[in-house]
Amino acid sequence: MNGAFMNELKFRLIVILSAAWRRRYLVVVPILILPLVGFAIGKLAPTTYHSHTSMLIQETAKMNPFLEDIAVSTMLKDRLNAIRTLLKSRHVLRSVALEEGLITEDMSPAQAEKVIRDISSRLNVSQAGKDFLKIELTARHPEGMKSLLESVSEHFIEQLLAPERSSIQDSSEFLSFHIDKRRAELDEAESALAKYSNEFSEFTPEMQSQSLTRLASLKQSLAEKEAELAGVKKS
pTM, two decimal places: 0.52
pLDDT-above-70 percentage for the chain: 80
pLDDT of 71 strictly over 50? no
* Helix segments in the chain, DSSP class H: 2-22, 24-44, 60-63, 80-87, 90-100, 109-121, 145-160, 162-199, 205-234
How many alpha carbons fall within 13 Å on the CB side of residue 90? 4
Using one digit for the tens of pLDDT, what is the confidence trace for 179-228? 888 999 898 888 888 887 777 766 667 777 787 888 888 888 888 888 88
